[in-house]
Structure 1
Amino acid sequence: MDMQSGLGIRLSLKQRYLLLLIAIGLVIAYHFTRDRPESSRMARVEGLRANSSQFTLEGKPLRILGGSIHYFRVPRAYWEDRLLKMRACGLNTLTTYVPWNLHEPERGVFNFEDQLDLEAYLRLAASLGLWVILRPGPYICAEWDLGGLPSWLLRDQNMKLRTTYPGFTQAVNPFFEKLIKKVVPYQYSKGGPIIAVQVENEYGAYAKDTAYMPFIKEALLSRGITELLLTSDSKDGRALGGVKGALETINFQKLLDEIKYLDEIQPQRPKMVMEYWSGWFDLWGDLHHVYPAEEMTRVVTEILKLDMSINLYMFHGGTNFGFMNGAFAVGIPAAKPMVTSYDYDAPLSEAGDYTTKYHLLRNLFSLYHTQPLPELPPLHERRAYHPVVIQQHVSLWDSLHFTDKPFKSERPVNMENLPVNNNNGQSYGYTLYETTITSAGTLNSKNNIKDRALVFVDKHFIGVLDYKTQELSLPEGKGRRTLGLLVENCGRVNYGKTLDEQRKGLVGDIEFNKQVLRDFIIHSLSMKPGFVNRLENSGHWMSMRQRPSFPGFFQAKLYVNTFPKDTFIKLPGWGKGVVFINGKNLGRYWSIGPQQTLYVPGPWLHRGNNQVIVFEEQETDGKILFASSPDYGMPVDVQ
């Protein structure tokens, strides 16, 4: 019986074609929805609510089992790998910050592409069945330079960050206009994964302006945020960080009296640890912090027994690529910069490996699921490539041909106020200040060097000035000589009350023989990709047969003959500097440790020759080593 006789009607060719298209469409729709989580297919009526002792979603109880993974700290090629490993651990919610300083590197110039494609990250989370708690700042802390605030804000000498000072709010509004427009369609009520949005971050520890949190809350609501609002504070700021209409959550590592505090201020509402610190960060010159897996699991077990929701900070830390590390300044004489790795001793390591913490948590979280957890995704192979020998070098002084035109100024000018980057100032890297001296004597920084300067006379290295060493003797010489100060921004403070004071470079006068120095030539050396590319293709490189001068750039080639694998760079015999692979800034290294390796993601390599450029300040042994596992230095338990 054919279609015509069976239906008792005759169908034209056109009608048959239309029926076929409808049938194909139904099959595609079925397969598309069949593999999506039940929660993302149901009609969206009632989002996340906090009206009783438990969160509810669509009126049904929901315990948030969350973890933090920052898209900007993980190579985009690995986003899916890390989120699949999150799901396989039994987590149901992804939390991420949004770094304003990366998304708006110059005022009014926005970047949401490639590594910074937040919408792609949200779509990926949704496709994998993860809910999202978005933490859009504008301040994020995150052990990130200036807590995620763009350095161009500091061009205003009267700037009052994280307040309703007009200079700050007038900068926040255009950023939120751009950002919130992008994330609104990904809210739960619109079929997306975002179930909650955090208002600012740990404001209670800052709390300089009672009107500020209401301003940020309104900035979110007025632009279309409709999901549950949260705030997040640790013990030192919990009493001052809330805002009316947002659920307060807490941050800690060891159970103290935080739970009791939440019961007192929010009786009969859900309790959540927004940041359960699974490890800790490291500072240059310190030891590598670890937090015992058994202790972590014990506290997480207690939290879950108390019927609370939890977010692991970090679930996977990743890396402070480039110059993006922050600095720590609480309870110490001067700020200490964070290391490049953000491994954080988290359940998933910097390179995406499973740790003891991961397996213990997976066993624990599996008890809170009715279905078996997904299989563990396979690990990525790693490789210790053969050492490579430095082939060429170029001095810092010769590299200045490829920087912006130098700037002449009677007085020193801090990095942020230099007339570079379309008058947005210099954000990161090094700045070279040169002036003239005519005698021997004593150089005094007056503590106006932020953060660390290599001092040269006629390109000969004399010594280092920083917050500990503020005086240096300069030798005798004939006639007029060039004094050079290569000043490094080692990372701006990301937490505490000194955010407004994070200008870098020479931030005031310096003295020579008690006389104020004047008439500077200032070179901006931010080492952006354009500069590295120009340098790489220049004709200034010299063979290693010619003795290198320091500081300098050193070039080698890593030949990869198979599919590229993750690896770690080791630089024994080198002092301090920065490594670039195929133009990408892997971050800082420093022999003082604790960190002794730099993570190199396989997707940033390619078959054949890979260009490695190292900027080294003072010494080299002429070769680069590779390892298949990291070395974060001597461990010490988090106190």
Structure 2
Amino acid sequence: MDIRALLSFWLTSPVLGIRASTCSPSWVLLWEDEMFVLFYEIFSAIFSSHVVLEQAVAVNKNKFEIKDDMFWKDGKPFRIIGGDLHYFRTLPQYWEDRLLRAKALGLNAIQTYVPWNLHEPKEGQLDFDGIADIVSFLELCHKLDLLVLLRPGPYICAEWDFGGFPAWLLSKEPALKLRSSDPAYLALVDSWWGILLPKIDHLLYHKGGPIVMVQIENEFGSYGDDKDYLHHLVNLARSHLGDDIILYTTDGGTRDTLTKGTIRGDTVFSAVDFSTGEDPWPIFKMQKEYNAPGKSPPLSSEFYTGWLTHWGEIIAKTDANSTASALENILSRNGSAVLYMAHGGTNFGFYNGANAAQESDYNADLTSYDYDAPISESGDVDGAKFKALRAVIAKYSAASLPPVPLNNEKTGYGRIKLEKAASLFDTLDNDLSTKAIESENPISMEAAGQMFGFLLYASEYTSKGNGNTLSIPKVHDRAQVWSNKQVNLPNAECASTSRLLILVENMGRINYGQYMFDSKGILSAVYLDGKPLLKWKMLPIPLGNLNESPKISPVFKKSYSDLIRVSTRKSLKSDLGVNSAELAFYTGSFVVDKVTDTYMSFNGWGKGVAFVNDFNIGRYWPSFGPQCNLYVPAPILQRGKNVLVILELESPQPELVVRSVDQQDFTCGSKHLSMPRL
């Protein structure tokens, strides 16, 4: 029915009280005609405006854009109050729990990196299952009405091993020039993004999904200035995702880093990060110079709620009220911010990163990535920082915030008595004969195909009556040496052949800065009395990493209890002390009636790796600190019997006891220790 027909029906209806008839006075008919014209004009205007409104809504639906120095969502101004929450640091069973806590904090968006090394741990071996199921995580964000800022790298930093790069990149010959326009490197990036980006394309916002922005690289201005590299990534992203998605960069808030790391114009939006408490508005003003006119909404894409901690340091803490005040300084003037981190999580397995201001100044990150974030490692939301930030966010949110959930229950299951299962070297003779890689000189872990964990090096030498001197100029990261009961290579009345064993631990690759090309293992010749020692065997030690099938199943054949070990990160020479402790697996069980989160306390133990029900819960090192306990999420446990297995590298706790407790503890070890590196 058109407007004229509708009005004719309406004007002649009993509702109006006017009915046209042959006996109607002429003035009534005249009035009716005039009314018809009047109502026709009014209804035409209303109908036309309704159609225009419907068309405007249709045009702006599922549209996220930047104009007038603001973000716009579906045609309305929008402020991003987001937070980093990394799917690869939280078990999938807890994704929804942590996202709901982020919503209760007041967040409307989640930012997450995508670690290439988790999804392609070996070249051509792709993994998008379990904790690597990024599509399910993004779909869950959409279900909970959380927008997503996706950071697919290929470099991510993130205090994650090698900044998210797969370690197998280090085995390529000739060596790749990572984070550059090196054609060989770009070909591998093309292949990786050619797999990843089509997987998430249907989840872009304009296609009905949650992803509103996609980041190009990560803080590139702090590393280099290869614009050809950045342009290649932009073109690659556009080829897979189209022109409607906002691409962005994140760089430190200085002129130098922004000049190097951004692409001027409206092709890519330039966001900034800076120290919490620093005046943001001069930085936001400078940010405008690196964006097109009207295309620079103030955004701190990494608003730091805490900080990282290395082994041997005091746990990082930041003040709740000052953090909240710094956030309010941004939000009160219509700025946007993404909390880094909203929820830190855990570096399960061997995926923690490391830092080095100088090559010899190596510092590995803790297993815990709590980060002093408002949502704790185990998801707690009753801390002062959560409350302070939530109070600020509530003042600037368009809608009331959801209620705050209760903390998840935690249980201390008590004392777990362990027994020594076997020496690490119980299978040495057989495996060195049948599985070892042989080479004239030592090779790196990557060249041996051992990307994480441990690699054993073995050689033989002729001992002298007055002893021998051993030196290794360069080893990453930590070496333990054995030779016939003495490290300083024993004296012998007559020349004899002795076996030299060197176990090297990869403690996490550097994830930031110029020393990031961090190959592991023995990276130089090994010198005996000043001469290179030749003819080596390299034996990978198979321990399961995050999202891998369990590998911890040693066959125990022969004990090497007479071997003495020493560990060092300095030059390995004959005057080092000796410790009679032995590398060994220890195992014990504990019974769970009600499954909840728990922590394993390693107070009194030395250094090692722990597994609960075949899941690698990470490294422990209470003797160095500060982390005493490892977080064990409830989904790892089961009702009834549960099994704990640890590989102790230094010295076991005298009673061989680990305790299951109900809280985290960061008070272990000596403070302010350095870890010099070869």
Bucket of the pairwise TM-score, normalised by the shorter protein: 0.7 to 0.9
**Which residue is equivalent to 1:476?**
491
Residues of 2 paired with 1:70 and 1:380: CA distance?
19
Is the 2:109–2:146 Cα contact (8 Å) retained in structure 1?
Answer: yes
1:561, CA displacement in angstroms?
Answer: 1.9
Are 2:210 and 1:193 aligned?
A: yes
Distance 1:430 1:537, change over 3 A: closer
In structure 2, relative to structure 1, the CA distance for the partners of 1:139 and 1:531 (3 Å cut) is closer
* Cα distance in structure 2, aligned partners of 1:47 and 1:402: 60
Q: How much has 1:214 moved relative to structure 2? A: 0.5
Once residues 329 and 217 of structure 1 are traced to their aligned partners in structure 2, the CA distance between those partners, rounded to angstroms, is 30
| 2:333 counterpart residue number | 306
Equivalent position of 2:483 in the other structure = 457
Distance 1:56 1:282 in 2: 37
Residue 261 of structure 1 aligns with an amino acid whose one-letter code is M
Map of 1:320 onto structure 2? 347
Counterpart-to-counterpart distance in 2, 1:279 and 1:451: 27
Aligned residue among 78, 94, 104 for 1:88: 104
Give the direction of change, closer, same or farther, for the CA distance of 1:363–1:540 in structure 2 (3 Å limit): farther
**2:156 paired with 1:140:** yes
- 1:411, CA displacement in angstroms? 0.9
Identity among equivalent pairs (%): 36
1:589 aligns with 2:632: no
Which of 269, 294, 312 pairs up with 1:247? 269
Query: Shift of the alpha carbon at 1:498?
Result: 2.0
Q: Which amino acid aligns with 1:586?
A: I
The amino acid across from 1:433 in the alignment is Y
What's the counterpart of residue 373 of structure 1?
401
Aligned to 1:428: 452
- The 3 A distance-change label for structure 1 pair 628 and 315 is same
Q: Which amino acid aligns with 2:620?
A: Y
Structure 1 gap segments, 5+ residues each: 1-40, 419-424, 463-472
Deviates more, 1:235-244 or 1:483-492: 235-244
Calculate the TM-score normalised by the size of structure 2.
0.81
Give the residue type in structure 1 aligned to 2:399: Q
Say what the alpha-carbon RMSD is for the aligned residues.
2.5
Corresponding letter in the other structure for 1:251: D
Question: 2:549 and 2:132 mapped to 1: Cα distance?
Answer: 21
- Pick one of 465, 472, 490 that aligns with 1:445: 472
Question: Judging changes above 3 Å, is the alpha-carbon distance between structure 1 residues 165 and 628 closer, same or farther for their aligned structure 2 residues?
Answer: same
Task: Tell me the residue number matched to 1:38.
Answer: none
Cα separation, partners in 2 of 1:283 and 1:220, compared to 1, 3 Å: same
Which one-letter code corresponds to 1:234 in the other structure? Answer: G
SS in 2 for 1:95: strand
3-state secondary structure, aligned to 2:66: coil
The secondary structure found in structure 1 opposite 2:195 is helix
Residue 421 of structure 2 aligns to a residue whose secondary structure is strand
CA, structure 1 residues 296+576, in 2 after alignment: closer, same or farther (shift >3 Å)?
same
Give 1:206's match in structure 2, choosing from 223, 242, 245.
223
Contact kept? 2:542, 2:552, Cα under 8 Å: no
Q: Distance in 1 between matches of 2:397 and 2:532?
A: 69
Take 1:630 and 1:295, find their aligned partners in 2: how far apart are those partners? Answer: 24
| Matched positions, count | 574
Runs of 4+ in 1 over 3 A off after TM superposition: 41-46, 263-268, 399-404, 529-542, 634-637
How far apart, in 1, do the equivalents of 2:461 and 2:162 lie?
A: 35
Unaligned stretches of 5+ in structure 2? 1-56, 565-579, 673-678
Instruction: Please tell me whether the aligned partners of residues 89 and 362 of structure 1 are also in contact (alpha carbons under 8 angstroms).
Output: yes
Q: Secondary structure at the match of 1:360?
A: helix
The answer to whether residue 626 in structure 2 is matched with residue 609 in structure 1 is: no
User: Could you list the per-position Cα deviations for residues 107-151 of structure 1 after superposition, in whole angstroms to 9, with x for gaps in the alignment?
Assistant: 111100111111100110000010001001010000000000001
The alpha-carbon deviation at position 44 of structure 1 amounts to 5.9
C-alpha separation between the residues in 2 aligned to 1:150 and 1:198? 19
In structure 1, give the amino acid aligned to 2:336: S
Q: Give the counterpart of 1:167 among 180, 184, 201.
A: 184
- Measured after TM superposition, the shift of residue 42 of structure 1 is 7.9
Return closer, same or farther for 1:110/1:285 CA change in 2, 3 Å cut-off.
same
Q: Displacement, 1:210?
A: 2.4
Return the offset for 1:285. Answer: 1.2
Deviation at 1:392, TM superposition (A): 3.6
CA deviation after TM superposition for structure 1 residue 238, in Å: 2.4
Q: Does 1:71 align with 2:62?
A: no
Is contact 2:624–2:668 with CA below 8 Å preserved after alignment? no
Shift of 1:633: 2.7
Structure 1 match to 2:11: none
Partner amino acid, structure 2, of 1:627: V
Label 1:568 to 1:176 Cα distance change in 2 as closer, same or farther (>3 A): same
Distance 1:333 1:414, change over 3 A: closer
**CA drift at 1:259:** 2.5
Residue 626 of structure 1: SS of its match in structure 2?
strand
Alpha-carbon distance in structure 2 between the residues aligned to 1:62 and 1:188: 14
**C-alpha spacing 1:402/1:585, structure 2 compared with 1 (3 Å):** farther
Secondary structure of residue in 2 paired with 1:211: helix
Shift of 1:322: 0.6
Aligned in 2, Cα 1:606/1:211: closer, same or farther, shift over 3 Å?
same
**Aligned partners of 1:47 and 1:227 also within 8 Å:** no
SS in 2 for 1:417: coil
Between the aligned partners of 1:106 and 1:602, the Cα distance in structure 2 is 29
Partner in structure 2 of residue 405 of structure 1 = 435
Q: Indicate the residue corresponding to 1:390 in structure 2.
A: 418
TM-score, structure 1 length as denominator? 0.86
- Distance 1:289-1:101 versus aligned 2 partners, 3 A rule: same
Q: Which stretch has the larger CA shift, 504-513 or 251-260? A: 251-260
Deviation at 1:47, TM superposition (A): 2.2
Quick one: which of 254, 261, 264 aligns to 2:286?
261
- 1:184 aligned onto 2:209: no
* 1:103 aligned to which of 101, 119, 127: 119
Judging changes above 3 Å, is the alpha-carbon distance between structure 1 residues 164 and 109 closer, same or farther for their aligned structure 2 residues?
A: same
Residue 522 (structure 2) pairs with residue 496 (structure 1): no
In 1, the alpha carbon distance for the partners of 2:97 and 2:358 equals 38
How far apart, in 2, do the equivalents of 1:88 and 1:73 lie? 20
Once the two structures are superposed, residues 463-506 of structure 1 have per-residue CA deviations (whole angstroms, 9 ceiling, x without a partner) of: xxxxxxxxxx3332461111111011111110112223x11101
Is the contact between residue 249 and residue 262 of structure 2 (CA under 8 Å) also seen in structure 1? yes
Alpha-carbon distance between aligned partners in 1 of 2:232 and 2:324, rounded to the nearest angstrom: 38
Is the CA contact (8 Å cut-off) linking 1:161 and 1:499 kept in structure 2?
A: no
Given that 1:392 and 1:556 are in contact with CA atoms closer than 8 Å, whether structure 2 keeps it comes out as no
Give the conservation status (yes or no) of the 8 Å contact 2:358–2:515.
no
State the 1:595 CA deviation. 1.0
Residue 238 of structure 1 is matched in structure 2 by: 258
